[in-house]
Chains A and B, each alone.
Chain A
Amino acid sequence: MDALFLQVLNGLDKGGAYALIALGLTLVFGTLGVVNFAHGALFMAGAFCAVTLEKVLTISTKVKDESITFFDAYKEVPILEAKFPVVGAFIVDFSVPFAILLAIPVMLFLGLLMERGLIRHFYKRPHADQILVTFGLAIIFQEIIRHYFGANPIPQSAPSMVSGSANIGALFGLGENVVYPWWRLIYLTFAAIVIASVFAFLQFTTFGMVVRAGMQDREMVGLLGIDIQRRFTIVFGMAAVVAGLAGVMYTPILPPDYHMGMDFLVLSFVVVVVGGMGSLGGAVLAGFLLGILQSFASMNEIKSIIPGIDQIIIYLVAVIVLLVRPRGLLGRKGVMEE
């Protein structure tokens, strides 16, 4: 029972990440009709915003390292912490949450730039071309990151006050072994808030209304004299920000490296397809569903019945859904069903 409860939590947590990435992907598809293979790279870019901020905050002076005697070695002493011991240490400790403030403008800029500079010219091109050009872009993003940050993962720590785990067993009257890291609970909450805000934004603002109308019938909205193009550009920026924020907040859970975008790309595509291309609710539902299924498939009890099931469960679900209900769980009838 305790084990199952924890696996549900694991699933929700994973699902939160999947949903956040898939949300932007499906939003871009639904509005711009573009299949963006560089979306995973945006997730990675967000994560590296956190890395960059941490690096900047800990810019160091080189001090001769006396402990190494037989060659000249230097150790690094962060200037900020040395100059302002208390405040500096506090800022460095909270570098991941602070990175959100950095990531929002950076990702918005990156998103707008990508849309204006590249994606725009591919609206009318076939999906295959869109996939290919964004795939090329993803490779370039990834190689640039590798060039400057190396190939090894760079760990980021959560603020020390939330780096431990919460004894939620006591809270729910479960066993003492039911503990869960604070940061993962925060991530789950954060994902829920971001998802809710995106939905609220699209549901309750005029801007969102126009965008939704555009998703239904782009031509009609254009005929009404509304500059749907400009709004879609902003939507792309928004998708980039959501992916970036997902990346920033995920860094303490998964030390970021240059390849994380590709790792998540295929997964998030599967999530989008299972949820239904262009369906926001579907992306969220499928994200959580796949997260939970993946967690359960990893349990030894299940692996002993079907060996290797944890390696293929996500793809298996995708295949079944596509065959049984090709428009996806919550997809609109007719979208991509030619």
Chain B
Amino acid sequence: MSKKPQTSNWSRRDVLKASAASAAITGAPLFFSRNAYGAEFLNNPGDGGTVTLGFNVPQSGAYADEGADELRAYKLAVKHLNGEGDGGMMNTLQPSALTGNGILGKKVEYVTGDTQTKSDAARASAKRMIEKDGVVMVTGGSSSGVAIAVQGLCQDAGIIFMAGLTHSNDTTGKDKKANGFRHFFNAYMSGAALGPVLEKEYGKERRAYHLTADYTWGWTQEESITASTEAIGWTTAEKVKTPVGAGDFSQYITPVLNSGADTLILNHYGKDMINSLTQAIQFGLKDKQVEGKDFQIIVPLYSRLMAQGAGENVKGIFGSTNWHWSLSDAGSQAFVKSFGQEYGFPPSQAAHTCYVQTLLYADACERAGTFEPCQVGAALEGHKFDGMGNGPTEYRAEDHQCFKDVLVVKGKDNPSSQFDLLEVVEVTPRAQVEYAVDHPMFAGGDLGSCNNGA
């Protein structure tokens, strides 16, 4: 059908004409761009009766269950902010500017999105919220890669990002942003909190063998934990990187048997952690003896949802967590009560941090008297509060990281129910896990200046 002669029918002039035509069409609809009315900041709810928040959580992929729990917490927080339900931690937050009448008198609405635990999908979803749904704040995330990627996006777009579950040092270190805030603890804090407990429980002379998920979060955690175990006199036998999603870890576990190490540290999270822990125990590591010492396994970052996945295997294994539902302070109890009544089971640490972040954002808006991101950010910076389940807490102004007590937990030997899997061994005081802003593990970043998108 198509032979040579007619292909050259398109002369250069034709092409020029065509591009001129397209250029004319291109120019025309430019007035459709957003914010033509000249708001003083991006997505200003203005005189409307509602304000929209964006909940960006993994709904598919490996962290979908955590994402589902985060979403439950967000919905609960919205309920409480709008004055429905029993109010949960709104009643225990100290000091509090919350009214139970929405935020700044506007009813809180929300949109949800699926991050798929991929930075691309998470950013696409956040962009939809910002560009289409007009949200004033995005929150969520169940992995550090996603949180850092979305945090960068919110900085560039000019809205506030309240990080959900993200544990990497980089989120408020190398990759910190003026518009981003993290309530969750980080790998350094895990190491600092675990160190003394491990020394007390297992002594000063141990040889640790690290299995580390081969990506950024795994490396920062390995670095943090190695630093704190070597500080108490432990030696490091070997650090082995494992591919993410390896499934079967047997080929990484058998070398541990012959390494002379007496402690295995699993820098894994999610599915990797469930698999590697289960398999390590199948290989008899828990019953092993090395030069008269019982072999020990440590999982530096614990989560109850994952402990559920690993079942029996978590018994007696130490780790750290941001929060646990069995805490007895008034804030935790109020939260567990209202979450439990709503859904029939206790919340996870992911749910907790997400709920707290939403309330803190609302509180900051009330105190600032506006949704303008820079003023809200200023209200969060250096803010000290209590009653949110973690004791006295401070949002450090220099890096937007919350400083609070950290929990060291252990897999419970005799759980009384399927939720009762971890017991709190020690509440490590804030002073012990605090670090300087320019600590080498966090160096190299810059908050930059706040962006309101105008």
Contacts and interface: CB of A to CB of B under 8 A. Distances in A.
Q: Do chains A and B touch in the complex (CB under 8 A)?
A: yes
B245 interface: yes
B282 A165 contact: yes
Interface stretch (B102-110, B127-135, B172-180, B253-261): B253-261
Contact of B337 (A10, A17, A71): A71
A179 B247 contact: no
A14 B249 CA distance: 10
B257 A179 contact: yes
Interface string B211-247: 0001000000000000000000000001011110101
Given A181-B282, A253-B282, A255-B309, A299 B255 contact: yes
Given A13-B250, A76-B418, A153-B271, A164 B284 contact: yes
A70 B347 CA distance: 13
A183 interface: yes
B417 A67 contact: yes
Interface stretch (A1-9, A109-117, A233-241): A1-9
A165 B283 contact: yes
B94 interface: no
Contacts of B340: 68, 70-73
Given A155-B310, A164-B284, A255-B274, A71 B247 contact: no
B369 interface: no
A311 B255 contact: no
A222 interface: no
A150 B56 CA distance: 19
Contacts of B287: 164
A163 interface: yes
Nearest to A154: B309
A263 B245 contact: yes
Interface centre among A6, A13, A70, A151 (most CB of B within 10 A): A151
B336 A155 contact: no
A184 B250 contact: yes
Interface string B250-276: 111011011000000000000100110
A151 B309 CA distance: 11
Contact of A73 (B214, B248, B346): B346
A61 interface: no
Given A6-B254, A146-B60, A67 B420 contact: yes
A154 to B, nearest CB: 7
Nearest to A17: B248
Nearest to B256: A177
Interface in A108-149: 146
B419 interface: yes
A183 to B, nearest CB: 7
A299 B338 CA distance: 50
Contacts of B257: 2, 6, 177-179
B344 A74 contact: yes
A298 interface: yes
A152 B282 contact: no
B278 interface: yes
B275 A153 contact: yes
Contacts of B238: 300
Interface residues on chain B, size class: 35 or more
B65 interface: yes
A75 interface: yes
B64 interface: yes
A271 B255 CA distance: 26
B62 interface: yes
A255 B275 contact: yes
B63 interface: yes
A227 interface: no
Contact of A153 (B243, B274, B416): B274
A309 B417 CA distance: 44
Contacts of A263: 245, 247
B251 A10 contact: yes
Contacts of B254: 3, 6-7, 9-10
Given A181-B282, A181-B284, A254 B65 contact: no
A155 B65 contact: no
A310 interface: yes
A33 to B, nearest CB: 30
Contacts of B101: none
A14 B248 contact: yes
Interface centre among B248, B309, B340, B418 (most CB of A within 10 A): B248
A155 B274 contact: yes
Nearest to B345: A73
Contact of B250 (A14, A65, A177): A14
B447 to A, nearest CB: 34
Interface string A247-275: 00000111101011001000000000000
A157 B238 CA distance: 30
Contacts of A183: 282
B112 interface: no
A298 B255 CA distance: 10
Contact of A184 (B65, B271, B282): B282
Nearest to A298: B251
Contacts of B424: none
Nearest to B339: A71
Interface string A1-34: 0110011011101100100000000000000000
12 contacts: A13-B248, A70-B340, A73-B345, A76-B418, A155-B274, A163-B282, A164-B287, A165-B282, A179-B284, A253-B248, A253-B282, A310-B243
Interface of B: 60-65, 214, 238, 240-243, 245, 247-248, 250-252, 254-255, 257-258, 271, 274-275, 278-279, 282-284, 287, 305-306, 308-313, 333, 336-341, 344-346, 416-420
Given A70-B333, A72-B341, 9 more contacts: A2-B257, A10-B251, A13-B248, A67-B416, A73-B417, A151-B60, A151-B62, A155-B310, A300-B240
Q: Which 10 A-B pairs have the closest CB atoms?
A: A71-B340, A151-B64, A6-B254, A165-B284, A298-B251, A75-B417, A295-B251, A181-B282, A67-B416, A177-B257
Interface of A: 2-3, 6-7, 9-11, 13-14, 17, 65, 67-68, 70-76, 146, 150-155, 157, 163-165, 175, 177-181, 183-184, 252-255, 257, 259-260, 263, 294-295, 298-300, 303, 310-311
